[in-house]
Chain A
Amino acid sequence: MRHLLHIQLRTAEGAVIRALGLIERRGFRIETVHAGEAQGDGQAMTVTVSGERPADLLQRQLERLHDVLWVDRPDEAVQWGGQDSTHTTTSGARPFTSKT
């Protein structure tokens, strides 16, 4: 599965490499990267990744980084644990959560 990610970073030493390193370490291949010019405080990066793991989980793992301000997946509706292949619940209930 391919996913498109917009990542908004703080302008900070290591921010780009930290985010890209996380993507690979968490089980995705980086297909394309475009990092925009750092403007003041922020820098935008667009990444396409491929992998079998759920992209919403990757998004939350990226958002956990201190230098990542937000992540957007414009092509995909936000859902929780959508492609978890390890287990299917019998209830079919949609998990609720609050997001930070």
Chain B
Amino acid sequence: MSLLQQDKSHDAAPRSGSRRMIDALKRNGVKHIFGYPGGAIMPLYDALVDSGLTHYLCRHEQGAAFAADAYGRVTRRPGVCMATSGPGATNLVTGIANAFMDSVPMVAITGQVPSPLQGTDAFQEVDIFGITLPVVKHSYVVRDVAEIDALVDEAFHVATSGRPGPVLIDFPKDISVELSSDLRERPLERFEAPEPDAEAIRAAAEMLATARRPLVIGGGGIAISDSVAAFREFVRRYRLPVTTTLKAMGVIPTDEEGFLGMLGMHGNEAANHAVQNCDVLMVVGGRFDDRVTGKLSHFAPTARIIHMDIDPAEVAKLRRPDIAIVGELTPALEALERHADRHDAAPRVADSWARQCAAWRKEFAWRYDAPGEGIYAPRLLRDLSRHGDQPPVIACDVGQHQMWVAQHCRFTDPLQHLTSGGLGAMGYGLPAAIGAKIANPDAMVVNVSGDGSFMMNVQELATLKRYGIDVRIVLIDNSMLGMVRQWQKLFFDGKYSEVDLSDNPDFSRVAEAFGIRARSIGRPEQVDDALDWLLGPDGPALLHVKIDPEENVWPLVPPGSANHQMMGTGGPRQFDGMMT
């Protein structure tokens, strides 16, 4: 007999599986759900009525999953999405994969055909459990109404503990309607993060104390683990130069002196040169993604590596560290400081290195004096993020505009920047902005999109309208699949294949048809006024910005090249130690 069958006890009154599911969600703190109904999940939608939970009907299940993803990023609690079996479930998959790649807590609930019909190719039956196996942190098929309570508790624990991720619960219809008062316990093994290993802390502290050219890469794990304060304290205290990955923009304010910008394929040259020349590289909550490292064997060639992460499976996956510190980031950073204090061994930054980093930072500061008559998108995005006292929360789509946001927008907190980093999923931005606004109603939330990406979840304008969700939209329209066009230009001899979008719909009229006010601009002198209009007091709006179709994102590390081999730049730089 399995452990699971041992502790059957009884609940007071019989409840249906659906009722139990709703009650369990509420017990786990859920207030908002994003979803779309259908046959197999109708009992759950029935139980939703008068449940006290607020459900947002997105207009495509992918929109629901992306909204739940952003909600999870902002709240650090699982965003919940649900859909019916078959096509509803498959429509969730991209959103689940997105959450998996970016380590976002999520609980996705799918209706399933009744258990006796499973495996018979029943109407709207798909094996969503099987389809999603490689893109979930964990998943369940509910097999017994008595175990729902415990199973949902476990799902929430798994989704949020350690390295967060999406958890799928597939819910057969017969179980969702079954009435029962049985309760079955599941032994819940709580994940406990390991204490930072004392020997690793000592070794890392010594390595930093003997460094001359140290550098820190902030990664996405800092925001996920709520370690921003500890991270800032650590790098500020020792005046360590810092660069970040795409997902970590804002872990220190982007205006701060020690910040060299984002690194990697579209990173700032200052950051990439610093990585290529540092002698000790401390990676905090990052995973050496190929867009970050460029050609791996040439990445940080002179550096010894300290890698901090909660996930032991990230250690030595791509670059073998000299020291790995596995555990929660905040205690690890604090332990490093304590060790440095006690042993009078503070991390050292040679004066010449500090000056060199500052000089690179100055030399490669972004410039906005672009030639051309039209609106320069990087400048507009810079101005957008400096419009109010606080930078807005920006939910991006994917493409050139996404890289411009990362390069040019001001961030004072990583949660101001929501982007599909690992998956790079076009269509993320608008539903993500919806999820972010619901999670944080006081924030100004802006979706920055491209004309390609926007069309991938344009239906969510109806969600905005129906619920009066105050999201502002900047649609950067280059009449192209810009990022793909840029690669075709650079790496496929300029032969354009299926990137032309010059027959785009009139986006202002599209927005207006959904009841969202809209404006179109195309000249630089219109920008200031348009931003005032967009970010003013009047609620949801779309600003359609026409730009030059041939604009490129610079600099760029060509695929397969090392990070110092950037195009659109002044060439590689070497630290010669002579900076005085």
Contact = CB atoms under 8 A, between A and B. Distances in A.
Given A11-B2, A80-B316, A95 B311 contact: no
A25 B134 CA distance: 8
Secondary structure at the A interface, as helix, strand, loop or mixed, is loop
Secondary structure at the B interface, as helix, strand, loop or mixed, is mixed
A99 B194 contact: yes
A97 B320 CA distance: 12
B3 A41 contact: yes
Interface size bracket, A side: 35 or more
A81 B203 contact: no
Contacts of A60: 312-313, 315
Contacts of B2: 11, 40-41
Contact of B200 (A40, A61, A67, A96): A96
A91 to B, nearest CB: 5
Contacts of B316: 54, 56-57, 80-81, 84, 95
Interface in B279-333: 296-297, 299, 304-305, 311-313, 315-327
Contacts, number: 109
Interface string A60-90: 1101111100000000000011001011111
A87 B296 contact: yes
Interface stretch (B136-144, B250-258, B365-373, B539-547): B136-144
Contacts of A89: 304-305, 320, 322
Contacts of A61: 313
Contacts of A90: 304
Contacts of A100: 193-194, 312, 326
Contacts of A22: 134
Nearest to A41: B3
Contact of B134 (A21, A56, A57, A88): A21
Contacts of B297: 86-87
24 contacts: A14-B133, A14-B139, A17-B130, A21-B133, A40-B1, A61-B313, A63-B313, A66-B137, A81-B315, A84-B316, A86-B319, A87-B299, A91-B304, A91-B322, A95-B315, A95-B324, A96-B199, A96-B203, A96-B323, A96-B324, A96-B325, A98-B194, A98-B327, A99-B194
Interface of A: 11, 13-14, 17-18, 21-22, 25, 40-41, 54, 56-57, 60-61, 63-67, 80-81, 84, 86-91, 93, 95-100
